[in-house]
Structure 1
Amino acid sequence: MSRRNKSKKEPMLAGWRFLTLCSVILLAFVALFARAAWIQVISPDRLRLEGDLRSLRSTAVSSTSRGMIMDRNGEELAVSVPVQAVWADPKQIHAEHSLDRQQAWQALADVLGVPHDTLLSRVQDPKRRFVYLQRQVTPAVAEYIRKLRLPGVHLRPEERRFYPTGEINAHLVGMTNIDGTGIEGIERAFNEWLTAQPGERKVRKDRMGRVIEDLGVVSEAREANNVQLTIDQRIQALAYRSLKRASEFHRVTSASLVMLDVKTGEVLAMVNTPSYNPNNRGQYQSFRARNRAVTDTYEPGSTLKPLIVVSALENGVVQADSIIDTSPGWVRLGGKRVSDTRNLGKISVQTVLQRSSNMGMVRMAMQETPEQLLDTLYRFGLGIDSGMGLVGESTGMVPQRRRWSDIEKATLSFGYGVTVTPLQLAQSYAVLANGGVRYPLTIVKRSQPPVGEQVIARQHADDVLMMLETVVGPGGTARNAAIPGYRVAGKTGTSRKAVAGGYGSDYVGVFAGMAPVSDPRLAMVVVMNEPQGEQYYGGQVAAPVFAEVMSGALQLLNIRPDAATEEQFQLAGQEAALVPHT
């Protein structure tokens, strides 16, 4: 036994193997420690980012609806109303066999006004997760759909723009598309201001989608802003009604009317025909949606003559009481004949405007340089942007030539060869009415009173204003523009429409005027484009519209009549003398 035990060898540990194993284990621990130190101490950002990508979420903070558009008195012209969008999840529809309920799907198709087959074709792809079935349905329709309880068919709240005044303000206010983005008028020009901006918050969510930590605001929500216009809806409605009636009577292609407050440059009314109802998108056509008062330009004809008279006064060509010889009533310039309807002989500057003498205008214009004429037109605001920011606004065209022929100067003096918008023409007459002061035009109500610029001498503006009053009086061309109880000044204009190679047989009838003359408050322009029938002169087709709208506006604004002011004061003075003093 002892011999066997002695023959057994004691187990021996291999030293190099042990050391190798220990070294490997030690290195592994060192590597793990170094890696942990690197991740947690030296460069922890990457893993934090990876973790945040799995848990951090951005959530929208709800904001108010699109802002309202109102008139100067706070009457709503555009508002947002709550509606619903009907959408479907095709994957859910197929997973829950929603299509088996054929009667319910037929009811859905009927209430949406969509053919049954068309509705089913939208949800045939089981891989899709979202498809609109119909946008902006009424609350009543939404409630009916909710009661159908069709799996995979859902509702989501949205808004629809509603325009209470319909076609009256369609060109000015404009409209939005189905997503609530402005595409016409004020809606487009002030889209960013009217649109609310939702805010954003960072939150941390668990794997079940529950918020476990609120990490704060990323961006603040911006509330929608309202826009208050300078328009007076009472005058606007009156103007549209009168213009539409006259447009239908004279069968015009289009018509425009602009009214300004001469003391502030605010637009009180701006209407056009034909119009459209922005609440009915099916009625929308591009030619109906154009705001012709600022986009369309016309040769102003004789309505430009008062501005040329101002230029002659400014440059010392004539005085207010000068006499001009228009004999023999015609002249030939550059092979073209310029004439009056008859030989008026020697007449005053006032009579030149009262009788709308082309010869009188030519005599004055020929004594001025083209630069002097154009400078005056620019000072009145022609050929430049109004600065109101309306969509599609045109600057018109004031001719710029290196050399001017006599016939070009002559035709410019009575309103040919230059184009203006109704808005620009209204501004130029507002300058005359306001003693030569031009205020910047605005369609949005200002918070501060505007600062005007004296662009022509007050004396010259007042002289021409008095001359224009005779145009509306006996012997003038605008008797139809007279308003009982008020002193009115203005000028008629009738110009042929330009065609290729010359002028055609269509006309534009214009009347521009202001009232009351004793203290002018309102300036207005009426343009009737291509009237049909025997009446096409501005005094026949545009002046009656001016009289009706201006009369109503003066009464609505409570502006005192001034036609018999001096006589009334004299009578009042006589009566006062008979009353004993106490």
Structure 2
Amino acid sequence: MSKKQAKVIKKPQLIQWRLKVVIGFILFLFSALVVRAAYIQVVEPDKLRHESDMRTLRTTSNQVQRGLITDRNGDMLAVSVPVKAVWADPKEVHKFDGFKDMRRWKALADVLHEPEQTLLDRVKDPKKRYVYLKRQVTPAVAEYIRQLKIPGIRLKDESRRYYPAGEITAQLIGLTNIDDVGIEGIEKNYNDWLTGTPTKQKVRKSRDGHVVERLSTVQQGEKPNDLVLSIDQRIQQLAYREIKKATELNQAAWGSIVVLDVHTGEVLAMATSPSYNPNSREHLQSFRMRNRAITDSFEPGSTIKPFVVASALQDGYAKADEIISTSPGWMRVGGRQVRDSHNNGNLSLAKILAKSSNVGISKLSLSMPVEKLLDKYYSLGLGNYTGIDLPGEAPGMIRESHRWSDFERATLSFGYGLTANTLQLARMYATLGNGGKLLPVSILKLTKPPEGTQVFSPKVAKDVMYMLQGVTEAGGTARQAHINGYPVAGKTGTSRKAVAGGYGDDYVSLFAGVAPVNNPRLAIAVVVNAPEGDRYYGGVVSGPVFAKVMSGALQLLNVEPISKAEQVKLAAMERSFD
């Protein structure tokens, strides 16, 4: 018989020391956390704030478009259009497996017209955070890229300069670089005026990049300024078309033309050929970017002769009805010859200009002190800057000499031994049209005419203009510059180009003048450099350009043609000088 043993059920006993240890540890840990939190937030909160700000505070700025450039009538010559920049965050590309679907990268490369491998090379370094893939893409291309949804590929707002007139105003307006900074022409000289300043704000952003709080304005921005030019786009287009046609027809190195308002000195047109398209820069050639109306100087040749006549009349070394013998068509001066194309016999001052007699103008020049003539040249702005606010202007040159030989004095009277640019030449003729008053030239539209400097008396200026009418009429050197209904006071010029050791076989063909003589409104200078072939005389090459541009411009400005009564009166005045 087995012996039953009683089972004793023991209740669990609470181990007091273990409980106290656990509770003590929890209380200690909680106390440490409280003390640490209090220390961080109360005693030393700056570090925590700094770490928070490093992750959430950002400075943002708004997009500021560049100011508009317009002509005097409000037509757009330069305008900024919104575009996008495509950039990548290589770290995010790698982090979110952006190379998983390579078809998207192929589509991205195709739309950006870039090799696929080139794009991949730019994002291969995961340590980089910002690399450009393409600048200034159109909104349509940007939307296509957004739909590709490639991780790490982002878009950024930009602006791009667009030039509605294209090559017509290219050298004058200039252009901007990819960062919208002016680098040529008016865009360069007025860059600060056209460029606004963005407003910068301090904001707090969430983790996904959204602004959750706007804190303060760091920098108050300034709006960009618009620029209104003196240019009349209608006349500019006409001038460019004709100078381009003449340059191509005569296979010339280049041509330039300037149209001035004689009463204000405003530039209504300034064109150069060959030109370029500033909206397409893939094959841009630097020589086409030169505004040759101001950057290139030349010897003005016979276009200077009217001012020799004006100087002699102004200082009393000749009279308006003076007759000068040019027989036998040449003269020896200081052991060298000055000659005309043929013997013109006795010539009045008007006929000397109409026939462009080198002998006659040389005799007139030698009758007056050389200092007097040089002073008039300087007073007309030769050898100095015109004051127009455009980059690259060549001021021209008047040769300095302590002793002038008679031959040098003679050549000085028919445009050799000094240089000028196209703008200077137009300005000189505008002085005749403005009653002998030299005005500063302006590329900006003026609100009121500027003060000028009286170089010749109004009577002398008017007399010389009457004399110059014969140049474009029967017997003159520029019949092709004649304009029906608008009497022209102009002068041809055909100067040989200087080379090392003398003069070469190339010529500069010129014509400059004012119209209408009865009520002067515009002055135009046309220069065609190095025309090919036998057609190189100024009256044949540049004269027709002058006639077409002057005629069209006067009609655009609603200048009435001369009446029959005024025509009879002008003819009588012209005959009085013969």
TM-score (norm 2): 0.86
The answer for the alignment partner of 1:264 in structure 2 is 264
Aligned AA (1:149) = K
Tell me which moved more, 449-458 or 114-123: 449-458
Alignment-mate amino acid for residue 160 of structure 1: R
Matched, 1:529 2:551: no
> Is 1:435–1:457's contact at 8 Å kept on the other side of the alignment?
yes
Q: Does 1:341 align with 2:357?
A: no
Q: What is the CA–CA distance in structure 2 between the aligned matches of 1:448 and 1:488, rounded to whole Å?
A: 27
Distance 2:273 2:205 in 1: 57
Q: Which runs of 5+ in 1 are unaligned?
A: 1-39, 41-46, 570-582
Match of 1:233?
Answer: 233
Q: Distance in 2 between matches of 1:220 and 1:102?
A: 44
State the shift of 1:61 in Å. 4.4
Q: Secondary structure at the match of 2:99?
A: helix
In the TM superposition, residue 512 of structure 1 has moved relative to its aligned partner by 0.2
Distance in 2, matches of 1:186 and 1:388, equals 11
- Distance change in 2, residues 1:283/1:213 (3 Å): closer
8 Å Cα contact 2:354/2:477 also seen in 1: yes
Deviations, residues 231-285 of structure 1 (Å, cap 9, x unaligned): 1111111111111111111111100010000011000111110000000011322
Aligned twin of 2:120: 120
Counterpart of 1:490 in structure 2 is: 490
**What pairs up with 1:122-271 in 2 under 5 angstroms?**
122-201=122-201, 214-215=215-216, 217-271=217-271
Whole-angstrom CA distance in 2 between matches of 1:50 and 1:365: 89
SS at match of 1:183: coil
- Equivalent residues of 1:66, 1:194 under 8 A apart: yes
Give the CA deviation at 1:205: 8.6
Corresponding residue number in structure 2 for 1:373: 373
TM-score (normalizing by structure 1): 0.86
SS in 1 for 2:107: helix
Q: Which amino acid aligns with 1:214?
A: L
**Cα shift at 1:214:** 3.4
Shift of 1:327: 2.6
1:365 CA displacement: 1.2
Q: Summarize the Cα distance change of 1:326–1:197 in structure 2 as closer, same or farther, 3 Å threshold.
A: same
SS in 1 for 2:562: coil
| Amino acid aligned to 2:465 | L
SS at match of 1:392: coil
Secondary structure of the structure 2 residue equivalent to 1:182: coil
Answer whether contact 2:518 2:566 (CA < 8 A) is retained.
Answer: no
Aligned residue for 2:396, secondary structure, equals: coil
Report the Cα distance in structure 1 between the residues aligned to 2:351 and 2:532, rounded to whole angstroms.
30
Match of 2:92 in 1: 92
User: Where does residue 332 of structure 1 map in the other structure?
Assistant: 332
Please say if 1:359 is aligned against 2:368.
no
Query: Residue 456 of structure 1: CA displacement?
Result: 1.5
Inter-CA distance 205–239: structure 2 relative to 1 (3 Å threshold) = closer
Match in the other structure for 2:79: 79
> 2:60 touches 2:202 (CA, 8 Å); kept in 1?
no
Query: Could you tell me the percent identity over the aligned residues?
Result: 55
1:157-180 CA-partner distances (Å, limit 9, x unpaired): 111111111100101111111110
The separation in 1 between residues aligned to 2:207 and 2:103, in whole angstroms, is: 40
Q: Is the 8 A contact 1:170 1:275 kept in 2?
A: yes
Q: Tell me the SS of whatever aligns to 1:230.
A: coil
Query: What's the CA shift string for 1:455-477, capped at 9, x where partnerless?
Result: 22111111111111111111111
Partner letter of residue 373 of structure 1? L
Aligned partner of 1:30 in structure 2 is none
Query: In the aligned structure 1, how far is the partner of 2:84 from the partner of 2:77?
Result: 22
Q: Which residue of 2 aligns with 1:26?
A: none
Is the CA contact (8 Å cut-off) linking 2:235 and 2:268 kept in structure 1?
A: yes
Q: Quote the residue 2:15 is aligned against.
A: none
1:466 aligns with: 466
* Distance across 1 between alignment mates of 2:419 and 2:499: 14
CA 206–175 in structure 1, closer or farther in 2 if over 3 Å, else same? closer
Distance 1:52 1:267, change over 3 A: farther
Q: Report the Cα distance in structure 2 between the residues aligned to 1:241 and 1:503, rounded to whole angstroms.
A: 31
* Count of paired positions: 526
- CA RMSD across the alignment: 2.5
Query: How far has the Cα of 1:219 moved from its partner?
Result: 3.5
Q: Matches of 1:436 and 1:211 in 2, distance apart?
A: 69
Q: Which amino acid aligns with 1:403?
A: R
Q: What pairs up with 1:281-296 in 2 under 5 angstroms?
A: 281-296=281-296
Letter of the structure 2 residue corresponding to residue 191 of structure 1: N
Match in the other structure for 1:25: none
Deviates further, 480-489 or 490-499: 480-489
Opposite residue 339 of structure 1, the aligned amino acid is R
Assess if the C-alpha contact under 8 Å between 1:63 and 1:221 holds in 2.
no
Query: Offset of 1:370 from its aligned partner?
Result: 2.4
Local SS of the residue matching 2:180: coil
Residue 49 of structure 1 deviates from its aligned partner by: 12
Aligned counterparts of 1:504 and 1:563: Cα–Cα separation in 2? 46
